[in-house]
Structure 1
Amino acid sequence: MFYHLREDINSVFARDPAARNFLEVLTNYPGLHALLAHRLSHWLWQHNLKWLARTISTLFRWLTGIEIHPGARIGRRFFIDHGMGVVIGETAEIGDDVTLYQGVTLGGTSWNKGKRHPTLEDGVIVGAGAKILGPFTVGTGAKIGSNAVITKAVPAGATVVGIPGKIVKRAEPDTEEAPTFDPERREAMCRKFGFDAYGVSQDMPDPVARSMQAMLDHMHAVDQRIEQMCNTLRKLDASYRNGQLPELRDEDFAEILDDVDSCCPPVGSDERRDEPPKRRSSEDANDAS
């Protein structure tokens, strides 16, 4: 018992630089108080003393602002930082070395009996205000961003942000060989459509910007494939001529660009927005192909 108490206290020192000494952690950390109370109430729950277990859980909810159902299974070195507003449901399962911040909910989406709350594997970190809802698994070492709403399984090592949650980083990138892109041509395509996805740094996980980047990269790959097909057709048939591509006119995009600029101007691109984006004419498109 005292070994596990020391282990829980040491986990606070490992993850909170504000912790100064043993006495301070033991007396002033509500996350630790809620965890110790849960250890007792869970033992009572397993021995069929359910009313007493719920009573202890309710008492410590009043004292700490943290609600942990006695039926929840919690591993070693679990740490709740700040803690106010944390809710952990009955069938939730939490592995070792998991960290939750204030306002986190491990909830269910069904009134049916049985498994209805999430499972957090070892080393998961859940940011403030995040909601993880449903009977699925959040993989080992995953990170859930603040205020994210997660309703489906998260792979190990992934970082998830947004509503609904979107994966913005994976521990292991796809092994399939990616096509080679020309950075200058990619940037030209961004300017053509008036989108400045690359004004967002890699340290700013914006799911919308990343989705737009993926679409532009796909369009880039399609352009390359079409050019290769046209070159092959010209070799097979000297009389083959490329068709005229429709011209992209500035006025067709003016309203969309004005809406984008008014709600979310690109980072570091004020000067570029002062001038209308250059469109590639049909003649330029034909020359490129």
Structure 2
Amino acid sequence: MGLWADAKNIRDKDPAARNVLEVIILYPGFHVLVTHKIAHFLYRHHWFFLARFISQLSRHLTGIEIHPGAKIGHKLFIDHGMGIVFGETTEIGDNCTIYHGVTLGGTGKDTGKRHPTLGDNVLIGAGTKVLGPVYIGDNVRVGAGSVVLKNLPANCTAVGVPAEVVRINNKKVCPADDLDQQDLPDLYQQRISQLEARLSKLEARLQGEYPPDRPTGEQ
């Protein structure tokens, strides 16, 4: 696999892309993959200044900032790309999709491995922040605008601030719908509604409209 496969992958995943040549010439998500391969090669051979110079030049050209130390697998699809940041120890698996405004960053207090690791087939929605040396398992989908601060298991969907798992292996783990980039579940509103319902029930009980709850086992 190589850059041609990356370009074909972008063409296949982006309904607006008409052909591979258009992707190669016009798509910043492809351009940054080209420059990152060069910068990463230089980084691995300890040409740190030159590697960083190329990555910063690419940042000005594409709006995407990828540290030359980041490790990127095959067929990464960066859609739009503006505002994306990948930190130095970021690792991304194969066939991942990342939308604009995503940060794979550090927390400012970690040393050594301080940025996220993404498994294969991961989708990160627009504006999401994944912070610290967390691991995102294979086939995970993270909803737009989420903040991920802890590991996520494989085959799950997570949304929210901080992000919480709402599905694992396509089964609900809390009252929420599956990931939809246009209609994400609002976990906080759901909990507020649940609290309001409980409060209404307690107020009604105080007014004598509900009998008191009986102890378990009492007839």
For 2:185, the equivalent position in structure 1 comes to 205
For 2:211, the equivalent position in structure 1 comes to 281
Cα distance in structure 1, aligned partners of 2:70 and 2:178: 37
For 1:181, the equivalent position in structure 2 comes to none
Cα distance in structure 2, aligned partners of 1:93 and 1:201: 29
Do the aligned residues in 1 keep the contact of 2:157 with 2:178 (CA within 8 Å)? no
Do the aligned residues in 2 keep the contact of 1:34 with 1:66 (CA within 8 Å)? yes
Among the aligned pairs, what percent are the same residue? 45
Shift of 1:280: 2.7
Cα distance in structure 2, aligned partners of 1:113 and 1:6: 36
Counterpart of 2:211, as a letter, is: S
* Closer/same/farther in 2, CA of residues 252 and 102 from structure 1, 3 Å limit: farther
114, 117, 127: which one aligns with 1:116: 114
Residue 34 (1) aligns with residue 32 (2): yes
Residue 18 (1) aligns with residue 28 (2): no
For 1:88, the equivalent position in structure 2 comes to 86
For 2:104, the equivalent position in structure 1 comes to 106
Cα distance in structure 2, aligned partners of 1:18 and 1:6: 18
Do the aligned residues in 2 keep the contact of 1:248 with 1:281 (CA within 8 Å)? no
Instruction: Identify the structure with the greater strand proportion.
Output: 2
Secondary structure (helix, strand or coil) at the match of 2:2 reads helix
204, 208, 213: which one aligns with 1:250: 204
Shift of 1:251: 9.0
For 2:133, the equivalent position in structure 1 comes to 135
Shift of 1:23: 1.9
Shift of 1:214: 9.2
Shift of 1:113: 3.5
* Closer/same/farther in 2, CA of residues 201 and 159 from structure 1, 3 Å limit: closer
Shift of 1:248: 4.7
5+ residue gaps, structure 2: none
* Closer/same/farther in 2, CA of residues 87 and 280 from structure 1, 3 Å limit: same
Cα distance in structure 1, aligned partners of 2:103 and 2:88: 12
Q: Scaled by the length of structure 2, what TM-score is found?
A: 0.83
Secondary structure (helix, strand or coil) at the match of 1:37 reads helix
Pair member with larger Rg: 1
Do the aligned residues in 2 keep the contact of 1:168 with 1:207 (CA within 8 Å)? no
Secondary structure (helix, strand or coil) at the match of 1:167 reads strand
For 1:228, the equivalent position in structure 2 comes to none
Cα distance in structure 2, aligned partners of 1:202 and 1:41: 38
